[in-house]
Amino acid sequence: MGRYVIRRLLQMIPVFFGTTLLIFLMVNVMGDPIAGLCGDRQCDPATAAQLRSEFGLDKPVWQQYLTYMGNVFTGDFGTAFNGQKVTELMGTAFPITIRLTIVAVVFEVVIGISLGVVTGLRRGRPVDTTVLILTLIVIAVPTFVTGLLLQLLLGVKWGIIKPSVSADPTFDELLVPGLVLASVSLAYVTRLTRTSIAENARADYVRTAVAKGLPRRRVVVRHLLRNSLIPVVTFIGTDVGALMGGAIVTERIFNIHGVGYQLYQGILRQNSQTVVGFVTILVLVFLAANLIVDLLYAVLDPRIRYA
Amino acid sequence: MLLEVRDLYVEFHTREGVAKAVNGVNYSVAEGETLAVLGESGSGKSVTAQAVMGILDMPPGKIAGGEILFKDQDLLKLRPDERRKIRGQEMAMIFQDALSSLNPVLTVGEQLGEMFVVHRGMSRKDAKAKAVELMDRVRIPAAKERVNQYPHQFSGGMRQRIMIAMAMALEPSLIIADEPTTALDVTVQAQVMDLLAELQRELNMGLILITHDLGVVADVADKIAVMYAGRIVETAPVHEIYKAPAHPYTKGLLQSIPRLDQKGRELYAIKGLPPNLTRIPPGCAFNPRCPMARGVCRSDVPPLYEVDQQRRSACHFWKETLDAR
Amino acid sequence: MPEPQTPDEAISQGGAGAPTDLAMEEGTSLEKNPGGPDGTGPAGKPRSLWSDAWRDLRRNPVFIISSLVILFLVIISIWPSLIASGDPLQADLADAQKGSEPGHPFGFDPQGRDVYTRVVYGTRTSVTVGVCATLGVALLGSVLGGLAGFFGGWWDAILSRLTDVFFGIPVVLGGLVFLSVVTSSTVWPVVGFIVLLGWPQIARIARGSVITAKQNDYVQAARALGASNSRMMLRHITPNAIAPVIVVATIALGTYISLEATLSFLGVGLKDPAVSWGIDISAAANYIRNAPHMLLWPAGALAVTVLAFIMLGDAVRDALDPKLR
pLDDT in tens, A259-306: 988 888 888 777 777 888 888 888 888 888 888 888 888 788 888 776
- Contact map slice: C 41-100 vs A, CB within 8 A: none
Strand order in the sheet with B61-70: B17-29, B3-14, B61-70, B73-74
Determine contact, residues B174/B70, Cβ cutoff 8 Å: yes
Alpha carbons C278 and C284: distance in angstroms, whole number = 10
Q: What is the pLDDT of residue C244?
A: 82
Give B-chain residues touching C44 at CB under 8 angstroms: 273, 276
Give the separation between CA B103 and CA C93, rounded to whole angstroms: 69
Q: What is the pLDDT of residue B174?
A: 92
Across the interface, whether the CB atoms of C262 and A249 are under 8 A apart is answered: yes
In one letter, which amino acid is C68? L
- Which chains does chain B touch, 3 or more C-beta pairs < 8 A? A, C
Pairing status of strand B223-228 against strand B231-237? antiparallel
> For C113, which DSSP code?
B
Over the stretch A135-181, which tens digit does the pLDDT of each residue have?
A: 988 888 888 888 888 888 887 777 777 767 777 777 878 888 999 99
CB distance A226–B89 less than 8 Å? no
Q: What is the pTM of this model?
A: 0.80
Task: Assess contact for B91 and A192: CB atoms under 8 A.
Answer: no
C204: three-class secondary structure by DSSP: helix
pLDDT of residue C265: 87
- Residues composing chain B: 325
Q: According to the model, what pLDDT value does residue B262 have?
A: 64
DSSP C3: P
Q: For chain C, which ranges sit under pLDDT 50?
A: 1-46, 324-325
CB atoms within 10 A of CB B280: 16
From B12, B50, B273, residue closest to C40, measured CB to CB: B12
SS3 helix, strand, coil % of chain C, rounded to 5?
Answer: 65, 0, 30
Show residues of chain A in contact with B100, CB under 8 Å. 203-205
Residue A33, pLDDT score: 57
CB of C5 less than 8 A from some CB of B? no
Strands of the sheet with B34-38, listed across from one edge: B91-94, B174-178, B206-211, B34-38, B223-228, B231-237, B311-313, B305-308
Query: Is C133:C261 a contact under the CB 8 Å cutoff?
Result: no
Is the CB of residue A188 less than 8 Å from the CB of residue C19?
A: yes
> So what's the pLDDT on residue C3?
37
Residue C37 touches partner B, C-beta closer than 8 Å: yes
Nearest-CB residue to C38 (from B14, B42, B275): B42
Query: Nearest CA to CA, how far is B218 from chain A (Å)?
Result: 28
Q: Cα torsion at A112, A117, A121, A123 (round to 10°)?
A: 10
Residue B4 to residue A44: CA distance in whole angstroms:
101
Contact C40 B41 (CB under 8 A): no
Q: What's the confidence (pLDDT) of residue C69?
A: 93
Q: How many CB atoms lie within 10 A of CB A213?
A: 24
A296 at interface of B, judged by CB pairs closer than 8 A: no
Residues of chain B with pLDDT under 70: 259-267, 325
Give, in order, the Cα–Cα distances in Å from C148 to each of B143, C145, C158, C224, C237. Answer: 46, 5, 9, 21, 13
Q: What is the pLDDT of residue C38?
A: 38
Q: Side chain identity at C84, as an amino acid letter?
A: A
Q: In chain C, which among 249-278 make CB contacts under 8 A with chain A?
A: 254, 258, 261-262, 265-266
Q: How far is CA A167 from each of CA A89, A90, A95, A268, C266, rounded to the nearest angstrom?
A: 13, 14, 12, 20, 21
- Provide the shortest C-alpha distance from residue B179 to chain C (in Å): 12
Say whether residue C300 is in contact with chain B using an 8 A CB cutoff: no
Write down the number of H helices and E strands in chain B. 13, 12
Contact B16 C41 (CB under 8 A): yes
Touching subunits of C (3+ CB pairs, under 8 Å) are: A, B
**What phi and psi, each to the nearest 5 degrees, are found at residue C19?**
-65, -10
Q: Does C44 touch chain B (CB under 8 A)?
A: yes
Chain B partners of C42 at a C-beta cutoff of 8 Å?
16, 276, 278
- Measure Cα distances from A246 to A173, B25, B177, B278 in Å: 19, 62, 54, 53
pLDDT band at A41 (very low <50, low <70, confident <90, very high): low
Q: How many Å lie between the alpha carbon of B272 and the closest alpha carbon of chain C? A: 11
DSSP state of A39: T
Q: Does A201 touch chain B (CB under 8 A)?
A: no
Quick check: B120 and B170 in contact, CB under 8 A? Answer: yes
* Of B43, B57, B275, Cβ closest to residue C37: B57
Q: Give the B:C interface size as CB pairs under 8 Å.
A: 45
Q: Answer whether C19 touches B (CB < 8 Å).
A: no
Given a contact cutoff of 8 angstroms between Cβ atoms, the answer to whether C114 and C88 are in contact is yes
Instruction: Sort out which chain A residues have CB atoms less than 8 A from C258's CB and list them.
Output: 140, 142
pLDDT of amino acid C219: 75
| DSSP for residue C59 | T
3-state helix, strand, coil in chain A (%, to 5): 75, 0, 25
What phi, psi does C101 have (nearest 5°)? -150, 165
CB atoms within 10 A of CB B139: 12
User: Which 75-94 residues of chain B touch chain A by CB within 8 A?
Assistant: 84-89, 92-93
The C-alpha angle C253, C196, C241, rounded to 5 degrees, equals: 60
B135 touches chain A (CB under 8 A): no
Give the residue ranges of DSSP H helices in chain B: 45-53, 80-86, 98-101, 108-120, 124-137, 143-146, 156-168, 186-203, 214-220, 238-243, 248-255, 295-299, 318-323
Q: How far apart are CA C183 and CA A271, in angstroms?
A: 19
Inter-CA distances, B312 with A66, B290, B305, C14, C177, Å: 89, 18, 5, 52, 83
CB atoms within 10 A of CB B201: 12
Q: Provide φ and ψ at C244, rounded to 5°.
A: -60, -35
Model pLDDT for residues A187-216, shown as the tens digit of each residue: 999 999 998 998 888 889 999 999 998 998
Task: Enumerate residues 6+ apart whose C-beta is below 8 A from A4.
Answer: A306, A307, C6
Inter-chain residue contact C17 with A238, CB threshold 8 Å: yes
Does residue C258 contact residue C278 with C-beta atoms inside 8 Å?
no
Yes or no, beta carbons of B87 and A211 under 8 Å apart: yes
Q: Residue B105 and residue A203: Cβ atoms within 8 Å?
A: no
Check CB contact of B11 with chain A, cutoff 8 Å.
no
Residue B98: burial class (beta carbons within 10 Å; 0-12, 13-18, 19+) = buried
CA-only gyration radius of chain C, Å: 23
What is d(CA C302, CA C305) in angstroms, rounded to the nearest whole number?
5
What pLDDT is stored for residue A233 in this prediction? 87
The answer to whether C270 touches C190, Cβ cutoff 8 Å, is yes
Bridge-based pairing of strands B231-237 and B91-94 is: unpaired
The SS3 call for residue A174 is: coil
Strand partners, B92: B175
A29 pLDDT band, cuts 50/70/90, is low
